[in-house]
Structure 1
Amino acid sequence: MRAFVLFRNLVLSCLFCLFFTESAMGWTWEPCGQEGGYFKDFAVHPENSQIIYAGSDDSGGLWKTTDGGQLWELMTADWPDMTAWQIVLDPVNPDVVYICDPYGRYGLLKSQDGGQSWEQITDGLSSIASRMVSDLLIVSDDGDSLYISTGLDREGDPPRPGDGIFVSVNGGQSWEPCGLQGETVLCLCRCGDGALLAGIEGQGLYRSVNGSAWSQVSSIPAETSVWQVDSCDSVVVAAANPYGIYLSWDYGLTFEFSLNSMYTPDVSIARVSPETEIYACTFPGLVKYTSASGEWTDVVSPPLPANLMLMGITTFGDSLLCGAFANSSIFISEDGAQSWAVLPSSPAASYLTGLAVDPNNQDIIYAANLGSYMASMNMSCLSRSNDGGQSWERLGPEAHALFVCYGSGSSNNMYCGTFRDGAYKSVDGFSSWTAIRQGDKIVLDLIEDETDPSIILLSEWDMEYSTFGIYRSSDGGGSFQQVLQVICGELLQDPQSGSFYAATMDGLYYSSDHGQTWSYSCLSSFNLQSLECHEGDIYAGTENGEIFRIYSSGIQNISGSWNKPVCVSDLLFKEDTLYAGFNGAEVDTCFVMHGGVWRTPDLGNEWEMLTGDLTVTHVFGNSPMALSGSGLLVSTYGGGVFRLGDLQGIDNPGSGDPVNQLCVYPNPSTAGFTFEVELSENSLIQVAVFDLAGRTVHRSTEIEAQSGLFSYFWNGLDDSGNRLPDGVYICSVSGSGGIQLCSRAILTGR
C-alpha cells in the first residue's frame, strides 16, 4: 500500500508540473553556472556508490548525481534557498532522505523517493530557534524514531541559537522536546552501544543512554564547542573547538586529547578494522589518523591544495569526498587519500558577490567569488565566461572577492576589491594584475571618474589600523588620500552632472568636485546599500527594503509591496524601467530570509515581481545585477549566475492578455496570503491552491471580477478549516478569457 501511495503521489506531482507551463508559473530564469560552492555534507547510497548527494551551505540546496559526478541535479528546486547542512539516508530504506536547515527557513525536509519530492516536517517545532535544525539521528530499524539537534551560533551575527534536542516517534510527523532546551546543540551521534552524544556550543559534550536525561562528559573541556562527532563500534572522535580533536575507545564514556586544532569543522571515521583510520578537516588542512602509528599526518596531494581548509568530508570504503571552504569544486580520493582528483563536474552552487559585463562584448562576463575570508586559504577570486555563461574559468589573485568592475568608458582598466586583501587593477582582463591597495583592507567599492580615468575613488576599511572611509587617487591608483570618513557600501557617478554619490550607513553623501570634498545630502536615518541614477535623479536602496527617489523637488519613497525588512542589494535601469535586486542571506531571522527581483516601469507607481522560478533568490554582493545583450544577469548567494530571458520581449509583452502576473504576498507567510491579478477585462475567476503532490487543498467559488486589480485573500487553511503544514504550495488563478496563472506560496513558522 505504501508503495502505491508513493507511486500515486509521484505521478500526480509529475502531471501537475506538466500542467502548469512556463507561462503559468511566471518568469523563467536560466542557470548559467558556475560550478562549485561550499559543500558541507555528502551522502552515498549504500547499494550504489554512483548515487551521491551533495549538501550545500546556506541556500545552495541539495544536489544529486546518479553517475558518480558526471551530471548533477538540484533536488530542492521547489524549495528556494534551502540548505542541506546535514544529509541523512535511512539505512534500511535509503530512498528516505532527510536534510537539515540550521538557518531556520524550512528547518527539516523529508523525501521518501530519493529526493524527487519533499515534505516539511516541523510540527512541534514552534519557534524559529527550534527550526534551526543542525543534525538528525535515526535510532530505530523502522525509521520512526528520530532525534534532531538545533542551533549553530548563539552569539553570531546573525545569531542562530537553536533550542536543544527534539524527538519524534512517527518518522518526523511531530516533534517533542527531549532535553537541553535553550542550548545551542551543534551535532548528534549514536555510539555503538546505543548511547547518544550531543555537542553543545560552549559546554562541551553531553551523553545520554535514554535520549531524555543528559550528562556532561567530563573528559572533554566544558568550555569547548563540540562541532562534530562521529562513531563506529566503540570508537568515537569529537571535534572540540578551539582545543582540538579527542578520541574515545569506550563508546564515548571517556576521551583522550589527540590533536591540537583551533578549528575543526568535520570529522569522519573511515574504518576501525583491521586498524582505525580517521580523517579530520582542521585549520588549515586535511589530516589523517591511524591507530597503527597513533599519529595524525597532513594529507596533501594535487589537486588538493596545501593549506586549504575543508568544511565537509564523507568516507565510504577507501574513498573520500571533500568540500572546501573556498567556493570550489568537490574533491575525491578513491585510494585512502593517497591521490586526489576533482569530480568530473560539481553542482552549480557557487557564492558570488558581483558581476561585470564587457561593454564591448556582451558574451564576456566576470563574476566575483567569495572565498574563505582568510587570505592564506583562498583560490583565484574571479571567474570569467567568454560564451555568455555557458562555461567559466577561474582567474585573478588568490583572495576573497567583494566586487569586480570595469573602469570608465574611456579606459581598459578592470578592478577587483577583496576582503582583507586590498584592491587590484588589471589592464588585460585579469590575466595579470597589480595591487593598488595592500594590507589588511576590506575594499567595498571602487569607481573611476568618467571624465578623468586617473581619478579613482574607493571605499575601504583597514582592519589593522581600525580606519575606514572613502579614499581618492589622482594618479591612477598609485597613491590614495582619505577624503571622507564614513562606511560606504556603494559609490556612484551621475553621467550628466559628473557628481559622485556615496551610499553610507548614515545616509547619502555627494561630491561635485571629482571627489575631493564631500557634503551630506539626505536620508541620515537610513543604512543605504545601493545606488542608481537616471535622467539626473538618484535612487537609493536601504538595508531594510526601502527604495527612495531623490530629485529636484524632494525625496519620494517608491518602495513596493515586497516583504520587509530585506536588503536592497542593487538597483539598475534599463531604459526607463528600474530593476531592484534583494538579498535575504546572512541576516537576522527578524529579516525576510528570501530575496528576489522586482521592476517598475513608472518610477514606483507599480511594481512587478520577477523572482519566478529562481532556486536561489538572494541577489547578493556589490553590483550583483548586470545587463548582457537583451537579458538580465544576477549573481546569487549559493546558486551562481542566473539569466532572465529577453528583456526586450519581457518589457513589451503585447496586448490582449487579460492578466499580467499573479502576485502573492507576503511570501513566505505564517498567516495567509493575498493574491493580486491585474485584469484588462471583466472575467469569471476561480482561485485554487495545490500542494506539491497535486492535491487540491483550497478552491474558491467562481467570482465575477471586474477589470482592474483583482484581490483575493487565502488564510492558509484547507477547505475543511484545518491548518496546513509548513511547505510550498502552488496558487492558481483561472477563468474566462483564457486566464491561467500560477505562483508559489511558502507557509512557514505555523
Structure 2
Amino acid sequence: MKSLYAAALFLMILSGSSSAQWISLGPAGGTVRNIIQDPLYPDTFYAFTDSLPTRVLMSGDGGNSWTEAGSFDGRENCAAMGTNGVLYVGCDYTLGSSTDGGATWSFLPAGNNLWYSIVPDQDHPDTVYAAGTTFTTNWVMGFMKSEDAGQTWTYKAIGSPISYGECLGVSPASYDTLFIAGYNGTTYVPLLYRSTNGGVNWSNVTPSGASTDYYAYSVAVNPSIASRVVFASTHQIFRSTDTGGSWTLASNEMSGNFRMAWSSNNTDLLLSACIGGLWHSTDEGQTWSAAYGTWPSSIKITDAIYDWSDPDIAYAGCVRSLQSSTDGGTNWVDDTSGLSLGRIASVHVCPARPTDVYVGLREWGIYRSEDSGNSWTLLPTPNPTTRVHYNSIASSPADADLVLAIDGTYNPGCIIRSTDGGDSWNWVVNRFMIAQEIMFDPLDPTVCWSGGTIYSGGGVMAVGKSINAGLNWTWTNVSTTGYYMEELALDPQHPDTVYLCGGFSNYSGIWRTVDGGASWAKIPSTDIPGTIYSLVVSPWDPQTIYAASKVGIYRSTDFAASWTKLSTEIGSCRDILLDPSSPSTMLVGTESQGLYWSEDGGTTWSNESAGMTDPSVYHLAVNPSLYYFAGTDGASVYRWTIPVGVAQQETASFPSAGLRVAPNPVSGSGTVISYEVTMNAAVEIAVYDLQGRVVASMDEGMRSPGTCEFMWNPSGSSGSPLPPGVYVIRITAGESVGTARVVVAR
C-alpha cells in the first residue's frame, strides 16, 4: 500500500530534520538502457539508467566499478560517443551532447524529431549520422546528419507518410552505405531503407519475407565488410551478403528483437538484445542460439555490445542488472557492482513484524528484507520470467506471514498470496487489469481491498473486496470509461468508508463508498486539475484528507468536497506519509524534487533529500520509532534513521509527560497505563495500529491533577482481542498530548 501512516514515530522534526541523511539500501541492480564504450580508451564505459532524470554512470576500469558522472532530464532512446570525446543522447524531440564525460549536457531546442539511433563517423568525428522520425503533416521515417559535432542538423524524410525510423546501421568500412530500419505506422509491417551515397538518396530493400512479421528495431552492418548486413523484425532475423540486394532468413525463434551488435574484433560474433532474452551468433549471423545468464530466460534485454579491444568480452543491459560475458557472449554473469538502479513500484513494512520490509521492483519481482533493509532476498513469485510490476504489497496486521501482492502489468493474474512470509506464493485472482492497490482492513484483517483499471474502452476503474483474508474476491466497476485508478484510502475511524482516486491527463476524480463497497459515488469536486496519485485520511479527523497529485499537495477539511493547495513550491507529488503521534507532521514524496516534510499541517515545507541521488520519491513507508523508507524511480530504496532520544524529547515537552505502560509487551492478562495530569482536563485515550487507524478509544472524562491509571486488556472497539503487533497509545488531556508504544503479544 502506497499510503502508510507512520505510527509511533515520536519525532521532533523541527530540531532533528536538518541533520537527517538518507542512505541507499538497494536492492542492487536495475535497468540499464544503453551501454557505450569510449572509442579510444577501451576501459572507459558509460551506462544510462532508466530513471527520471537519467543518471549517467561511468566506469574507468572495464566495468569493475561505477560512479555517477552526471544526469539530464528526460530518457534517452539511444547513446553514442565520437572519437572527439563527445557523448550524444537521442531523446524524444531533442538531442543532447556532452563534452565533459557526461557531467554537463546541452540540448537542441525541442523540434518535431524523435531520435532513435546515432552513429558518429570514427574517421571524421564532427560528422554524425542519426535516424528517427520526423513530423511534417504526418510522422515519417527520417535521416539526420550533422557536420559540426551535433550543433546543427540536416533532415531528410524517407519512406511513406506514417512510418517510423528506429535504427541506423553503418559500417566503419564505408560510411557511404547506410541502412535505416523501421516500420509502417498503419500496418506495422517492417521497413528497411538503404543509401549508397551517404544519405542523399534512399531505396526500399526490405526482405520480402519480413511482410509476415511486425516492426523492425534493428539493423547491423559488418564492421569490416560493409556488404554483410543483418536485419531484425520482431521474430525474424534476415542476412544479406550483397549490401541488401538479397536476403536469407537466418532465424525466426526470437521474441522482440530490439538491438543487434557486431564484434569489431571478430566479425563472426553478433549479439541480439530481445524483449525475450539475449541471443548470439558465432557464424556472422547465419545461425543463432540463446545466451545464458543470471536473468530469467524471457527477460527484456535493453542493450548489448562487444568490447572493441577484446572479442571475448561483452556487456549487456537488462531490466534487472548490468551483465558481462568473458566467452564471446555465450555465458553471462551479473556485473552490477553494487549499483542500486531499481525502479521501485511499492514499499511495505510488515505491521506485525516491522523488521520485515517488502519491495516491489518494476519489471522484476518482490524482494524481502528481514533486517530493515540491510540485506535483501529475491522471492520466488509466480511466473518470474514475465515482466511484472508489483505495485502494492500488504501483510496482515494479525499474521506477519500472510502477505498479498498485486501485479500491475495487465497480465491475466493480478493478485498473489503467501502464507509463509513470501517464501512461496499462489495466484488467487486472474483478471486482465492494471492493478494498483491492495490492503488489509486494520480493524478486521479478514477484510481486504484491492483496485485497478480494466483496460477496456478507455479505462474502467474496478475495486475488489475479500472477506476471507484475500482468498476470494468480488469485484465492482466503480467508474465509466476514461479514468485510471491510482489508490484506495480507508477512513481509519469508519472502515466501511473507502475512497478511491485516479484521473487521466489533466483531470482527476475521487469516488467514495460509505457502505463497505456496496455502492460508490463520485465526489463532485474539480479543485484538483491533475491526476491524484495518493490519498490519506487523517486518523484524528476523517473530515481532513490529503491528496498527492500531478500538480501538487492538497488538503480537504470537508470529506473531499473542496480542496486547498498547500504549497506553490512543490510540484508533482506521488505519496504522502502522516505521523499519527504528531497530527501536524507529514512527509511528501515528489516526482522530481525529492522529499518534503512539514510539521505545521502543510503550512510550511522543507526539502529533506540529503543523501539521495534520485529525486523521484514515489513510495514512503515506516518502521515505527526507527526508520523511514523511501522508494525511488531509479535508485532503489533509501532509509532515514530516526534520531535516538527524539521520542523522549517530544513526550517530555508535553504537560501529560509521565505516560507509562507496564508490563510491555502486553499479554492476555492486560497492562496498566498510567499518566500524569497537571491541571483539570478532559482525558481521551486512543489506540492506533501501525497504519494510523484507531483500533480502540476510551473517554476517561474529567481528571484532576495527579497520577491516573487504568487497566487495559488489549481489545479493539468491537471488544475483540487485538491481534499481536505494535500499537501506539495516545492520551489527550485538554491541550496536552502524550504517546507511548506498546507491543501486544499472545
- TM-score, with structure 2 as normaliser: 0.69
Check the 8 A contact 1:61/1:82 in 2, yes or no.
no
Identify the residue that residue 480 of structure 1 maps to in structure 2: 473
Which of 470, 476, 482 is equivalent to 2:463? 470
Residues in 2 aligned to 1:128 and 1:639: alpha-carbon distance in whole angstroms? 30
Displacement of 1:573 in angstroms is 1.4
Q: Does 1:118 align with 2:104?
A: yes
Amino acid at match of 1:601: E
Which of 413, 417, 422 is equivalent to 2:414? 422
Q: Structure 1 residues 111, 362: closer, same or farther in 2, change over 3 A?
A: farther
Identify the residue that residue 606 of structure 1 maps to in structure 2: 604
Amino acid at match of 1:569: R
CA-to-partner distance for each residue in 1:230-262, whole Å, 9 max, x for gaps?
A: 222225545443463232323455544433355
Q: Does 1:406 align with 2:400?
A: no
Q: Does 1:213 align with 2:210?
A: no
Identify the residue that residue 100 of structure 1 maps to in structure 2: 89
Q: Does 1:72 align with 2:66?
A: yes
Check the 8 A contact 1:493/1:500 in 2, yes or no.
yes
Displacement of 1:205 in angstroms is 2.7
Amino acid at match of 2:121: V
Q: Does 1:37 align with 2:61?
A: no
Mapping for residues 542-581 of structure 1, pairs under 5 Å: 542-545=549-552, 547-551=554-558, 555-562=562-569, 566=572, 568-574=573-579, 575=582, 576-581=584-589
Mapping for residues 735-750 of structure 1, pairs under 5 Å: none
Identify the residue that residue 196 of structure 1 maps to in structure 2: 178
Which of 362, 387, 391 is equivalent to 2:375? 391
Q: Secondary structure at the match of 2:80?
A: strand
Q: Secondary structure at the match of 1:551?
A: coil
Identify the residue that residue 513 of structure 1 maps to in structure 2: 515
Displacement of 1:533 in angstroms is 1.7
Check the 8 A contact 1:55/1:86 in 2, yes or no.
no
Q: Structure 1 residues 360, 478: closer, same or farther in 2, change over 3 A?
A: closer
Q: Secondary structure at the match of 1:61?
A: strand
Amino acid at match of 1:38: T
Q: Structure 1 residues 169, 615: closer, same or farther in 2, change over 3 A?
A: farther
Identify the residue that residue 534 of structure 2 maps to in structure 1: 530
Identify the residue that residue 218 of structure 2 maps to in structure 1: 228
Identify the residue that residue 168 of structure 1 maps to in structure 2: 146
Q: Structure 1 residues 509, 214: closer, same or farther in 2, change over 3 A?
A: same
Identify the residue that residue 459 of structure 1 maps to in structure 2: 451
Q: Does 1:186 align with 2:166?
A: yes
Identify the residue that residue 660 of structure 2 maps to in structure 1: none
Q: Does 1:139 align with 2:96?
A: no
CA-to-partner distance for each residue in 1:586-616, whole Å, 9 max, x for gaps?
A: xxxxxxxx45433333344334344567443
Identify the residue that residue 358 of structure 2 maps to in structure 1: 366
Displacement of 1:563 in angstroms is 7.2
Q: Structure 1 residues 126, 269: closer, same or farther in 2, change over 3 A?
A: same
Amino acid at match of 2:470: G
Residues in 2 aligned to 1:109 and 1:307: alpha-carbon distance in whole angstroms? 34
Residues in 2 aligned to 1:35 and 1:71: alpha-carbon distance in whole angstroms? 13
Q: Structure 1 residues 147, 177: closer, same or farther in 2, change over 3 A?
A: same
Identify the residue that residue 632 of structure 2 maps to in structure 1: 636
Q: Does 1:309 align with 2:289?
A: no
Displacement of 1:450 in angstroms is 1.7
CA RMSD of aligned residues (A): 3.9
Residues in 2 aligned to 1:651 and 1:143: alpha-carbon distance in whole angstroms? 62
Q: Structure 1 residues 210, 80: closer, same or farther in 2, change over 3 A?
A: same
Residues in 1 aligned to 2:523 and 2:336: alpha-carbon distance in whole angstroms? 53
Q: Does 1:450 align with 2:450?
A: no
Structure 1 stretches lacking a partner, 5+ long: 1-22, 155-159, 372-378, 584-593, 655-750
Residues in 1 aligned to 2:304 and 2:126: alpha-carbon distance in whole angstroms? 27
Check the 8 A contact 1:178/1:212 in 2, yes or no.
no
Identify the residue that residue 582 of structure 1 maps to in structure 2: 590
Check the 8 A contact 2:322/2:336 in 1, yes or no.
no
Q: Structure 1 residues 134, 647: closer, same or farther in 2, change over 3 A?
A: farther
Residues in 2 aligned to 1:98 and 1:177: alpha-carbon distance in whole angstroms? 19
Check the 8 A contact 1:61/1:84 in 2, yes or no.
no
Which of 471, 490, 493 is equivalent to 1:493? 490
Displacement of 1:569 in angstroms is 1.9
Displacement of 1:501 in angstroms is 1.7
Identify the residue that residue 694 of structure 1 maps to in structure 2: none
Identify the residue that residue 619 of structure 1 maps to in structure 2: 617
Displacement of 1:427 in angstroms is 3.4
Q: Secondary structure at the match of 2:614?
A: coil
Q: Structure 1 residues 450, 651: closer, same or farther in 2, change over 3 A?
A: closer
Identify the residue that residue 346 of structure 2 maps to in structure 1: 354
Residues in 2 aligned to 1:307 and 1:632: alpha-carbon distance in whole angstroms? 35
Displacement of 1:151 in angstroms is 5.3
Check the 8 A contact 2:350/2:395 in 1, yes or no.
no
Residues in 2 aligned to 1:625 and 1:149: alpha-carbon distance in whole angstroms? 44
Q: Structure 1 residues 646, 251: closer, same or farther in 2, change over 3 A?
A: farther
Q: Secondary structure at the match of 1:555?
A: coil
Which of 336, 341, 344 is equivalent to 2:328? 336
Check the 8 A contact 1:396/1:432 in 2, yes or no.
yes
Q: Structure 1 residues 259, 27: closer, same or farther in 2, change over 3 A?
A: farther
Check the 8 A contact 1:42/1:313 in 2, yes or no.
yes
Percent identity of paired positions between Structure 1 and Structure 2: 18
Q: Structure 1 residues 136, 297: closer, same or farther in 2, change over 3 A?
A: closer
- TM-score, with structure 1 as normaliser: 0.69
Displacement of 1:463 in angstroms is 6.3
Amino acid at match of 1:311: T
Displacement of 1:267 in angstroms is 0.6
Identify the residue that residue 672 of structure 2 maps to in structure 1: none
Amino acid at match of 1:511: T
CA-to-partner distance for each residue in 1:143-194, whole Å, 9 max, x for gaps?
A: 2222333459x9xxxxx9799444333323x212332299743222323322
Residues in 2 aligned to 1:483 and 1:344: alpha-carbon distance in whole angstroms? 43
Residues in 2 aligned to 1:338 and 1:434: alpha-carbon distance in whole angstroms? 34
CA-to-partner distance for each residue in 1:191-244, whole Å, 9 max, x for gaps?
A: 332223333443723333454524133334698644122222225545443463
Displacement of 1:531 in angstroms is 0.5
Residues in 2 aligned to 1:39 and 1:440: alpha-carbon distance in whole angstroms? 29
Displacement of 1:543 in angstroms is 4.0
Displacement of 1:84 in angstroms is 5.2
Aligned residues: 586
Residues in 1 aligned to 2:121 and 2:627: alpha-carbon distance in whole angstroms? 50
CA-to-partner distance for each residue in 1:641-694, whole Å, 9 max, x for gaps?
A: 23456589999999xxxxxxxxxxxxxxxxxxxxxxxxxxxxxxxxxxxxxxxx
Displacement of 1:127 in angstroms is 1.8
Residues in 1 aligned to 2:140 and 2:56: alpha-carbon distance in whole angstroms? 22
Structure 2 stretches lacking a partner, 5+ long: 1-15, 185-189, 651-746
Identify the residue that residue 743 of structure 2 maps to in structure 1: none
Displacement of 1:448 in angstroms is 1.3
Larger radius of gyration: 2
The structure showing larger relative contact order (alpha-carbon pairs under 8 Å, at least 6 residues apart) is 2
Amino acid at match of 1:227: Y
Residues in 2 aligned to 1:362 and 1:150: alpha-carbon distance in whole angstroms? 50
